[in-house]
Amino acid sequence: MPSSTVGVEGRTATIECTVEGKPMPEVTWEFKNQPVGAILGTRARIDPPTRLTIHDLKPADTGSYFCVARAPGQELVMDSTFLTVFTIPKFVHTPNKTVEAYEDRWIQFRCAAEGHPKPDVKWMHQGSPVPSKCSHPLAVGHVNE
């Protein structure tokens, strides 16, 4: 089983583990110290018992998933993988479409986005990058256009 895997919010992730033994151990999946079904409900599907598929991923699904093998008279065996759910960047604040600026005055634009991993915000003006030490807010001095 891989030590980590990634998925994208709203999509599907599959985690598999390999289990062997005679008799074949009973396999269950746990997340946050509970059976996955208790937390994820019908979004979690287990088939055969060594494959866990999670539908409609959510950021809260990020964490360690444990494949637990139990067989009568044998030690409990566990393996885990860490699932990271990436989220599509979303703007939480965007600048106004139209802004009034006065010649030779400063103007400030504000923009903020969230997501995982954290989005990299870049400012563009007429298709070219705007040089700036910080990505947001953007302050423009001595407006002349």
Q: What is the CATH number of the domain that holds 71?
A: 2.60.40.10
Examine the fold and report which residue of 87, 102, 126 is the final residue of a domain before the chain moves on: 87
Are residue 66 and residue 10 in the same domain, yes or no? yes
The residue segments making up the domain with residue 126 are 94-140
Our CA angle for 35, 41, 43, nearest 5°, is 115
pLDDT of residue 125: 82
CA–CA dist 104, 95 (Å, integer): 21
- The verdict on residue 100 lying in a domain is yes
Domain presence at residue 113: yes
Q: Is residue 13 part of a domain?
A: yes
Number of domains in the chain: 2
Is 106 exposed, middle or buried (CB count within 10 Å of its CB: 0-12, 13-18, 19+)?
exposed
**C-alpha span between 124 and 115 (Å, rounded):** 20
Q: Are residues 8 and 64 in the same domain?
A: yes
C-alpha 125/C-alpha 114 separation (Å) is 22
Question: Do 68 and 123 share a domain, yes or no?
Answer: no
Which of 43, 68, 87 is at the close of a domain?
87
Look at the alpha carbons of 56, 60, 66, 70 in this order and tell me if their dihedral is positive or negative: negative
- Within a domain: 145: no
> What is residue 30's predicted lDDT score, i.e. its pLDDT?
97
User: Which of helix, strand or coil describes residue 42?
Assistant: helix
Tens place of pLDDT per residue across the chain (145 aa): 779 999 999 999 999 999 988 888 999 999 999 999 999 999 999 998 899 999 999 999 999 999 999 988 888 889 999 999 999 999 998 877 888 888 888 888 888 899 999 998 888 888 888 876 655 566 666 555 5
pLDDT of residue 102: 84
Question: SS3 for 55?
Answer: coil
